Amino acid sequence: MQNHYPPTLKKLISALSSLPGIGEKSASRLSLFLLSKPGLCEFLGDLIKELPFRVRLCKFCRNLSEEEVCGICKDKTRERELLCIVENPVNLLHLESIGIYKGYYYVLHYLLSPKEGFGPKELGLDSLLHLIQERGVKEVILALSPTLSGEATSAYIAEILKPFPLTITKLACGIPMGMEIQFADPLTLKKAFQGREHLKGG
Amino acid sequence: MQNHYPPTLKKLISALSSLPGIGEKSASRLSLFLLSKPGLCEFLGDLIKELPFRVRLCKFCRNLSEEEVCGICKDKTRERELLCIVENPVNLLHLESIGIYKGYYYVLHYLLSPKEGFGPKELGLDSLLHLIQERGVKEVILALSPTLSGEATSAYIAEILKPFPLTITKLACGIPMGMEIQFADPLTLKKAFQGREHLKGG
């Protein structure tokens, strides 16, 4: 159907179709919409071009930042002894939006995944070790998703951190609040049994 | 949740959210994806910026084109006496992809819609009248959607073209092929009765 479109429009549709969650139909609709808004094209085009030059990683925690040090690392009121390891900036923001954690973060950006070629080198743990020593961190909280690669990465990091005088913890795994037990999957139930809370005695 | 994002990222998310069919969540995911692809940012940013400068309207039929005259108007093998009026380039491409029509087109880009401020002036009928006279068009086919604004626009154009020595036709309205009569809406059924075909007698 797009054979009759002008070449620039076809190129734009194909580029937009390469983005996650955008099919050829949405790409076509977006392109025609943009065509009717020259001002937006100028603004949006510039923003997209500048994005990788403006946004970089905080030199301490590797969170997204437009300055050398991100807002969280600059915040001196946070609990200096806690360091929470997250997979990516989206997870960091999710934890921040809930507001239950007041320590600092370290963003991995990758999980171990031999299939995708992400090995220990990509995790960049040198800067993590440096941060732990420099800040005098006392507890490292592993907050990676309880998936195959998340678990493998947590285990690997825990192993690396073993020689250091640190408490290492991992977010609890179990039945989500509000879920009926009958709908919990076997693996989750197993984790819930293993990690069961002591209410009395011991 | 995005309060902790760097300003450029926030601006991009907000600009992408203004596009049709893209909510804040998709905009956020797209922005983070783009951030990880500097090459794509450069390419896509340039394409979007150039779009309105490269793609313009064919001087005859107002279809999208990168040259003064579009490929269809340049094609001398088409039926010179037929002119099909469509609402927008998407509809034109849809008709072309089916390949049942071999005349020329004229793209309105707007339908009459007093609510949205699209009156007779926006339809740009001067260039339509010019085209009809210059090409020696004998039949104008109104191929606008049978919606409220489509019908109003068809009626308006038919009225304007009345003084010219032309056949004016409109695409048939009726029950879509393959549809069970029980599911046809009352208005469509009424149109199907009014436009009933003669099979025998007279």
Least confident of A49-63, A70-84, A118-132, A141-155: A118-132
Residues of chain A with pLDDT > 90: what percent? 63
Contact list in B for residue A71 (CB cut-off 8 A) is 4
- Is B32 close to A94, i.e. CB distance below 8 A? no
Per-chain mean pLDDT for chain A: 90
Where are the alpha helices (H) located in chain B, listed in sequence order?
7-17, 24-35, 38-54, 71-74, 89-98, 120-123, 125-135, 148-161, 186-194
CA B173 – CA B193 distance, rounded (Å) = 10
Residues of chain A with CATH 1.10.8.420: 2-54
CA angle B54, A34, B106 (to 5 degrees): 70
Residues of chain B with pLDDT > 90: what percent? 63
CA B161 – CA B34 distance, rounded (Å) = 50
Q: Tell me which of 3.20.20.70, 1.10.357.10, 1.10.8.420, 3.40.630.30 is the CATH number of domain A2-54.
A: 1.10.8.420
Residues of chain A with CATH 3.40.1360.10: 70-179+186-192
If one counts every other C-beta atom within 10 angstroms of the C-beta of residue B38, the result is 13
Scan residues 56-85 of B and list those with Cβ closer than 8 Å to A: 64-66, 71-72
Q: Region B90-119: what's the mean pLDDT?
A: 89
CATH top-level class of A70-179+186-192: alpha beta
**Residue of B30, B44, B65, B92 best to disrupt the A interface, most CBs of A under 10 A:** B44
Scan residues 2-41 of B and list those with Cβ closer than 8 Å to A: 2-9, 11-12, 15-16, 18-22, 26, 28-35, 38, 40-41
Judged against a pLDDT cut of 50, whether residue B113 lies above it is answered with yes
In this structure, which amino acid lies at residue A109? H
Tell me how many residue pairs between chain A and chain B have CB atoms under 8 A apart: 154
CA B91 – CA B171 distance, rounded (Å) = 13
Helix axes B38-54, B24-35, angle to 10 degrees: 120
Judged against a pLDDT cut of 50, whether residue B172 lies above it is answered with yes
Judged against a pLDDT cut of 90, whether residue A199 lies above it is answered with no
Mean pLDDT: which of A82-86, B121-125, B174-178, B188-192 is highest?
A82-86
- Is B89 close to A50, i.e. CB distance below 8 A? no
CA A15 – CA B15 distance, rounded (Å) = 18
CA A85 – CA A141 distance, rounded (Å) = 6
Q: Confidence band (pLDDT; 50, 70, 90) for A202?
A: low
Residues of chain B with CATH 3.40.1360.10: 77-172
Judged against a pLDDT cut of 50, whether residue A152 lies above it is answered with yes
Fold of B77-172: Dna Topoisomerase Vi A Subunit; Chain: A, domain 2 (3.40.1360)
pLDDT at residue B1 in the model: 45
From the list A90, A97, A103, the residue with the least C-alpha distance to A140 is A103
pLDDT at residue A8 in the model: 92
CA B189 – CA B191 distance, rounded (Å) = 5
B201 min Cα distance to partner chain A (Å): 41
B79 min Cα distance to partner chain A (Å): 18
Judged against a pLDDT cut of 90, whether residue A36 lies above it is answered with no
In this structure, which amino acid lies at residue A137? V
A191 min Cα distance to partner chain B (Å): 30
**Residue of A51, A61, A75 best to disrupt the B interface, most CBs of B under 10 A:** A51
Whether this model's ipTM surpasses 0.90 comes out as no
**Residue of A46, A48, A78, A104 best to disrupt the B interface, most CBs of B under 10 A:** A48
Burial class from Cβ neighbours inside 10 Å (0-12, 13-18, 19+) for residue A156 reads middle
